[in-house]
């Protein structure tokens, strides 16, 4: 852990400003975090909700579960950690989280309306005419 001398106010202010601005993830890490965000595995909140000048976000990247854990290639140093993201990447991840929620909800709503039975057991008249029956 990095230590800062309390007597050096200038250095302390510089370090605080670094945290307030946040840090960008590398492209590879951002893409992996975005995949997990779409799946709902990223939790975010503004770093300082009461300070309008602070645009950065705290982001926790959780481990994937189930089939996604088997299929997605995610770096071990990305998951299970909290990041202080800069405002731009934080806003993009928030948009991806929202998009994922809407798309997954639409998928489950469509699945709930889908009728598997008639599609498998009753052929349309076009199919029966071509088969000669």
Tokens coding 12: 């302390």
Instruction: Spell out the domain ranges in the chain.
Output: 23-113
The pLDDT value recorded for residue 1 is 57
Percent of the chain with pLDDT over 70: 87
Q: What is the pTM of this model?
A: 0.77
The pLDDT confidence band at residue 101, using thresholds 50, 70 and 90, is: very high
Q: How many C-alpha atoms does 99 have within 13 Å on its Cβ side?
A: 11
Q: Please state, rounded to an integer, the average pLDDT across all residues of the chain.
A: 88
Query: What is residue 99's three-state secondary structure?
Result: helix
- Kindly report the backbone phi and psi dihedral angles of residue 97, in degrees, each rounded to the nearest multiple of 5, phi listed first: -60, -45
């Amino acid at each position: 852990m990095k230590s800062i001398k309390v007597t050096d106010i200038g250095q302390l202010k510089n370090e605080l400003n670094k945290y307030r601005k946040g840090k960008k993830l590398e492209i590879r890490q951002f893409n992996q975090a975005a995949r997990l965000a779409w799946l709902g595995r990223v939790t975010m909140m503004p770093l300082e909700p009461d300070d309008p000048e602070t645009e950065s976000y705290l982001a926790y990247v959780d481990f994937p579960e189930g089939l996604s854990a088997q299929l997605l290639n995610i770096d071990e140093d990305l998951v299970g950690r909290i990041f202080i993201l800069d405002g731009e990447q934080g806003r993009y991840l928030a948009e991806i989280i929202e998009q994922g929620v809407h798309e997954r909800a639409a998928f489950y709503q469509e699945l709930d309306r889908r009728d598997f039975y008639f599609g498998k057991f009753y052929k349309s008249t076009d199919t029966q005419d071509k088969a000669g029956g």
